[in-house]
Structure 1
Amino acid sequence: MDRRLRNAPAAIAYRNYSTYGLKIGSQLELPELESLPPDASPDIRIELGELPGQLEDAEFSTPWLQCSSNRCQFLLDRIARYRVEQGLSIRVDRRLALASGSTAGEGDLRLYLLGSALGALLHQRHWLPLHISAVQTPAGIWGFTGDSGAGKSTLAAWLHYRYGWKLVSDDVGVIKPEETHPTLYPGPPRLKLWRDALEHLEIEHQGLVRDRTRTEKFHLNGHLGFTHDSEQLKALVMLERVSADELASIEPVEGIKAFRIVMSALYLPEWGQRFNGSARLMQYGANLARQIRVYRYRRPWSLEKVEESLAPLIQQIHEGTGHAS
């Protein structure tokens, strides 16, 4: 046998997964995603391999990030270098972490792969990723958005555990603007909750994965309460906190205010600007705001009084049962 063949590294096998309506062939194991049987024609590939320090022909360049019209490459020190190309592939180079003896593990590598890198790929495909929690209500899929700490995950978890409604997304869901109806394609079936929410929902936190940056927040990976089905998004609700002495309320929002709520829910808007441009991105947002119902839901935040605060939201959902958009 030729010595070169004997010494050649073994090919890394591909594993198959599904998320955001995509079939993924990956050389990296991704336990956060739904597994699929072998597929010879995945929509995208995730590969391990070496990358140069700079993206060739970059139109924008810093020591950590380079972009062209349909490609980008970014470096996360002591973790990995990632290259995302044409909405079709992601290459991961982890030599820097290995060479530096970094303590960053596979979990850190996957965190940014399934976050920033996959987010860039979704925008390269000219799709609309939304940073929302969503549940399958009797009136269809309702999504919840708001500032960090607004309670998106806790609300979705409460509706699931107390009302039995299936979870659809707890971080990002994707709309494909080319489709006639705004179907929401769910992301990884992972629920993230603070310790106090786990206690109120009577969920044992022992054995759960702690959040990388917030030690009192836990990940319920591969949560069985999620549906993998993609269905039409019916409503988007902006969550806002009010003082403890105010009553909870929900009101419909239309026109420019609805558009602004949709745009505020955009996941990684900087990638959206880069790969779609402002005009296309704004058109996507305007179209979606016209296709769904948009609400502003204001309530005092108290885990002890969640049911009381939920009353106007639950009433609005049940009034929407059977509503055809």
Structure 2
Amino acid sequence: MRAVVTAGDGGPEVLSVGEVEDPRPGAGEVLVDVVATAVNRADTLQRMGYYPPPPGASEIIGLECSGRITELGEGVEGWSVGDEVCALLSGGGYASRVAVPVGQVMPVPAGVSLVEAACLPEVAATVWSNVFMTAHLDKGERFLVHGGGGGIGTMAIQLAAARGAEVYTTAGSPETLELCRSLGATRAISYRDEDFVEVLTEVGGADVILDNMGAKYLGRNVSALATNGRLVIIGFQGGTKGELDISALLRKRGSVTATSLRARPLVEKAKICCEVVENVWPLVAAGRVRPIVETTMPLEDVARAHQLMEDGGRAGKIVLTL
């Protein structure tokens, strides 16, 4: 099959498309013919050698895909050959076929094309598991997500707003700030010209913060929390080592949680996917949450796609088609 291969760790130039052995579905897995996959920040980290796949996962980059089931592994029920699906992966998405644990296979939401569906599993599962299953964001609470124009940000804004939260976000360009407002953000904060701590302090602080910056924003995030606020860290674009003022956290009775999705046990990922189908897909079908696709390009342009991701300043997700 066709798949993205790497010539060692490094920049986007190490990526190319080659021929590799076809996967076979094991017990409890399905084989999917991939129609599209999407680029995530974690993919660039894996390419550079900083984020290896968990034991047993495919070495091929790619954390989500959409396509059609072509084979059922032993013991799989509830799915048929030919079903159109999207899937959350531990790896293997940048390829024409991938074997997927059945618990991580989801139907394509009504009204969404197969190409659009490729960019939903990772962001939907990340936002739902962290903002709602971990931080328990409730209706009427204030929610802050950093990087509102990215894949995680655009999904988080829409989901939080659809479930009745007051949404704040940080972003850069005027165009991205306007996109965030159009998706449901009460206040889009320019990280170039404004201080999100001041903005949130004026309204009483954020009940939940979803952060992908890590060390760089740690102290400021704690300052921006409301009493009983919950900070959930899911990335470290701003570094891995920061200083935490325990006294400030204690005064707010706040909490800091750091989580990842990729290496969770299959049973946990299956539960997350089940909740996504139950809670997120109806909002997508109703048009209240939509996939934000910034650009679509063929798999052969994978190096350019990674370069676009690293250049930043873009809104929505980059989709690779097969």
TM-score of the superposed pair, with normalisation by structure 1: 0.29
TM-score of the superposed pair, with normalisation by structure 2: 0.29
Greater strand proportion: 1
Greater relative CO (CA pairs within 8 A, separation 6+): 2
Between structure 1 and structure 2, the one with the greater Rg is 1
